Structure 1
């Protein structure tokens, strides 16, 4: 019998993974597509108090969120939910959605992205912010390259008011 090589094993210990900021929330890279045969990627998102992710649409991937700490609000299409630690939610592609810290303490969630690839948008934004003031044209090009569209949401002012959130720029 020939010697078969064991499949690649990726180990990410607690506290490991590149950390960055996406502006209103943070990002910690845990598993990239390169680690999962492009099947999925996993990042953690810390949400400071008052944090709001601008409404957006993914055209290439679905997202699955698991709240680890605090309370995070989600709106996808016309559905809204607030989840505490241990809560799970799906966010299907091609549907306008947003997320926010719905509580009075910092929150944190895991984001599973399928298929993989979109984590590189987060990486690019984190690089831009780390290098100084990000160029909106560069961020817009990154978004376009990854099939991400930001959109106006008529329901956003109500969410900002109800949860005392910091409005997104623009």
Structure 2
């Protein structure tokens, strides 16, 4: 193909001569972090030239739960949680062969407004990006052993997910 000829792309936005990517190669990030998370960072890092859609999600610490005022949260992860979040990301990438995946979950003390879970998926098409991102969030919440301790304004506390 000469430089003047436009490159032919398939429906996924991949050229016929582009090398195959294994699912783990399309996982841009999958980690636990004690540092603040950024949805903007996730969207920037997951995007690629062939992506026409980036769908992001951020689970943010709110100031209430079941009618009780919440002051802060603490997340504790099982030692296997880092491996589990990586496996969830690879599973999503394998299930959706053209997506790129970014997912991180905070651990430690979080305040109201902090991002606890951030996920982003890039794909050639929006429908696949929406579906993959939703499944990434649900599987992360379901399969990664992380427990939330809520600290209420009245001085009581509660473990969630334990």
TM-score, normalised by the number of residues in structure 1:
0.27
Max Rg structure:
2
Q: Which has the higher contact order (CA 8 A, sep 6+)?
A: 2
When you count helix as a share of all residues, which structure comes out higher? 2
TM-score, normalised by the number of residues in structure 2:
0.28
